[in-house]
Amino acid sequence: MSELTSKTIAELRDGFRSGDFTAREIAETYNAAVAAAKTLNAYTVETPEDALAAAQAADEARGNGDPGALAGIPLGIKDLFATRGVDSTAGSNILKGFKPTYESTVTANLRKAGAGMLGKLNMDEFAMGSSNETSAYGPVLSPWRRKGSNVGLTPGGSSGGSAAAVAADIAPGVTGTDTGGSIRQPAAFVGICGIKPTYGRCSRWGVVAFASSLDQAGPMAKTVRDCAILLEAMAGFDPKDSTSLDLPVPQWEANLSSNLNGKRVGIPKEYRIDGVPAEINALWDQGIEWLKDAGATPVEISLPHTKYALPTYYIIAPAEASSNLARYDGVRYGMRAAVEGGLDDMYGATRAGGFGAEVKRRIMIGTYVLSAGFYDAYFTKAQKVRALIKQDFRNAFQQCDVILTPTAPSAAFGIGETTDPLAMYLNDVFAVPASLAGLPAMSVPGGLDGQGLPLGLHLIGNELDEQMVLNAGLAIEERAGFTARPEKWW
């Protein structure tokens, strides 16, 4: 049955519905695959019984002729999502053992559609990282390796476990979250698809907050179509999230079309930056050709404030995080350090012991930029630049329907190779502007670099126009013919 794990979600769904195989067979196959891939460290918790229970319900529903959109599909869930009764720790020691009494809206939506859960997926602590190396559970190993090398590579981050699970066929699809590229960069690193929808499409209720004004959940899967299927199930208005968009969920899958006749593809000149490998720029040019072939017209556009996006992001995101993470204080749940002294001593010891270095760094940055005397110079200025970046995109979408760029400035790097935090932050240089503007954006695999590692192409759409992003992604997917799979070594 191992060929089941190489199927797309669409294929599993259709095969299940037509009775080619049962949901139970799918769940059992995946449960076994998950159990056999512990080396990758992709899952922090395995929940085979959950996947089986959902499969049983799906098989019964199929008998009754009314299976949900995701009936029979088991999924991996990023550890940032609260899942009732199952450890939900955001990859952090400070939440070790925390089992919520509640279920996030996004995972509840997926369950309502019939999906089961294979387990919780490893991630950078509190989604802060681009390599999954900041996780309290240790790094995730990418299933990919450089040609002729057995150096362990990162799957990117922060949704590193999510990316590795799809690439290694130990989940047909997964949830990710994207604050400044955390879905798209890992998707690019492991040769899969991942989309971050417009800010507000997916409810943030029950998702551990990193930077509230940027956090968005989204799916990662093998294909563009699978992303459309999953996103339809995840998205939707939620009155429990004040920033949730009160709009109906479009039928993204039914409206998939790779015919881009009459569409204009914006190519932002500011994304041609120094130090990016020629292979990546070449793939970008290839991407333009593919979209032309699909009927689109390329137009050069300008996003003049692009160079300020990364510094702006690294003021706003830590500022919000420094406040969002204040609740992890050892008083009500999670870790509490046993320490002599008073309340302040307990706070200090708990947070010193519970948070990792990168989380502490960002709390420090965020606290600093919000401090009296620095607030205007940093936070207020960053908010202003953010408004300018949004305006850049608004202007650009007067001239084009979708924007094409590379997803990341490099292919996957080795574990432990990038030790300078600033060099790590540069991973998200292409991803961050769309996050600041709240726009839908997707990474689609384009090809392999000289070392045999996947590279992604990045599509940014106008507000609420996930369809355009998916359609352009589909056009690339069809033309790139990306069928490379990592050779199984684990």
Partner 1 sequence: MADSTAPYRVKGDTGEWEVVVGLEVHAQITASKAKMFSGAATAFGAEPNTQVSLVDAAMPGMLPVPNQECIRQAVRTGMALDAVINRWSRFDRKNYFYADLPQGYQISQLYHPLVGPGEVEILLDDKDENSVKQIGIERIHVEQDAGKLMHDQHPTKSYVDLNRCGVALMEIVSRPDMRSPAEAGAYLRKLRAILRYVGSCDGNMEEGSMRADVNVSVRKPGGEFGTRTETKNVNSVRFVMAVIEHEAKRQVELIEEGGEVAQETRLYDPDKNVTRSLRSKEDAHDYRYFPDPDLLPLELDEAFLEECRSSLPELPDAKRKRYEGLGITPYNAGVLTAEVETARWFDALLDAGAEPRQGANWVVAELFGALNRRNETLATTGISPVEAAELLKLVADGTISGTLAKQVFEIMLETGDAPSRIVEERGLKQTSDTGAIDAEIDKILAANADKVAEYKGGKPQLFGFFVGQTMKAMQGKANPQVVNERLRAKLD
Site for partner 1 in 258-297 (CB under 8 A): none
Nearer to partner 1, 102 or 489 (CB): 102
Report if residue 83 touches partner 1, rule: CB under 8 A: no
The DSSP call for residue 255 is T
Cα angle, residue 39 at apex, residues 35 and 44 outer, rounded to 5°: 65
Contacts of 414 (CB under 8 A, 6+ apart): 151, 152, 153, 154
The only residue of 206, 354, 356, 461 in contact with partner 1, by rule CB under 8 A: 206
Residues 250/217, Cβ–Cβ less than 8 Å: no
| Calpha distance 60→450 (Å, rounded) | 49
Report if residue 332 touches partner 1, rule: CB under 8 A: yes
Site for partner 1 in 223-252 (CB under 8 A): 239-243
Residue 404, H or E segment: strand 402-406
Smallest distance, partner 1 to C-beta of residue 460, A? 22
* Pairing mode, strands 297-301 and 264-268: parallel
126 sits in the region (left: phi over 0; alpha: psi -120 to 50; else beta) called left
Which range in 280-288, 323-331, 434-442, 476-484 contacts partner 1 by CB under 8 A? 323-331
Contacts of 142 (CB under 8 A, 6+ apart): 152, 153, 154, 155, 156, 163, 164, 167, 189, 190, 412, 486
Place of tokens 């940093």: 378
Smallest distance, partner 1 to C-beta of residue 388, A? 18
Phi, psi of 414 (to 5 degrees): -80, 155
DSSP 412-449: --BTTT---HHHHHGGGTTTHHHHHHT--EEEEEEEE-
Nearer to partner 1, 190 or 208 (CB): 208
| Calpha distance 224→55 (Å, rounded) | 24
Site for partner 1 in 156-185 (CB under 8 A): none
Amino acid identity, residue 229?
I
Local structure of 244: helix, strand or coil: coil
Alpha carbon of residue 464 to chain centroid: 18
Alpha carbon of residue 48 to chain centroid: 23
Which range in 5-13, 66-74, 162-170, 327-335 contacts partner 1 by CB under 8 A? 327-335
The only residue of 40, 319, 365, 411 in contact with partner 1, by rule CB under 8 A: 319
| Calpha distance 377→182 (Å, rounded) | 27
| Calpha distance 434→229 (Å, rounded) | 22
Report if residue 254 touches partner 1, rule: CB under 8 A: no
Local structure of 175: helix, strand or coil: strand
Place of tokens 């050069």: 300
The only residue of 211, 396, 429, 431 in contact with partner 1, by rule CB under 8 A: 211
The only residue of 353, 375, 452, 490 in contact with partner 1, by rule CB under 8 A: 375
Within 13 Å, how many C-alpha atoms sit on residue 12's CB side?
36
Smallest distance, partner 1 to C-beta of residue 364, A? 13
Smallest distance, partner 1 to C-beta of residue 349, A? 13
Report if residue 137 touches partner 1, rule: CB under 8 A: no
Nearer to partner 1, 104 or 306 (CB): 104
Smallest distance, partner 1 to C-beta of residue 326, A? 2
Task: Quickly list H helices, 355-420.
Answer: 357-370, 375, 381-399
Local structure of 189: helix, strand or coil: helix
Report if residue 90 touches partner 1, rule: CB under 8 A: yes
Report if residue 82 touches partner 1, rule: CB under 8 A: yes
Which range in 320-328, 401-409, 425-433, 447-455 contacts partner 1 by CB under 8 A? 320-328
Binding residue count for partner 1, defined by CB under 8 A: 44
The only residue of 247, 326, 364, 387 in contact with partner 1, by rule CB under 8 A: 326
Which range in 14-22, 43-51, 82-90, 111-119 contacts partner 1 by CB under 8 A? 82-90
The only residue of 72, 74, 91, 100 in contact with partner 1, by rule CB under 8 A: 100
| Calpha distance 22→124 (Å, rounded) | 35
Contacts of 451 (CB under 8 A, 6+ apart): 146, 147, 149, 411
Give the x-and-dash track for 342-371 against partner 1 (CB under 8 A).
Answer: -xx--x-------------------x--xx
Report if residue 467 touches partner 1, rule: CB under 8 A: no
Smallest distance, partner 1 to C-beta of residue 329, A? 6
The only residue of 322, 407, 410, 443 in contact with partner 1, by rule CB under 8 A: 322
Nearer to partner 1, 213 or 467 (CB): 213
Point out the residues that are catalytic.
Answer: 78, 158, 182
Smallest distance, partner 1 to C-beta of residue 134, A? 17
Nearer to partner 1, 103 or 169 (CB): 103
Report if residue 333 touches partner 1, rule: CB under 8 A: yes
Smallest distance, partner 1 to C-beta of residue 370, A? 4
Sign of the CA dihedral 118, 134, 411, 300?
positive
Report if residue 308 touches partner 1, rule: CB under 8 A: no
Report if residue 338 touches partner 1, rule: CB under 8 A: no
Within 13 Å, how many C-alpha atoms sit on residue 455's CB side?
24
Q: Where does this chain bind partner 1 (CB under 8 A)?
A: 81-82, 88, 90, 95, 98, 100-102, 104, 204-209, 211-213, 239-243, 319-320, 322-323, 325-327, 329, 331-333, 343-344, 347, 367, 370-372, 375, 379
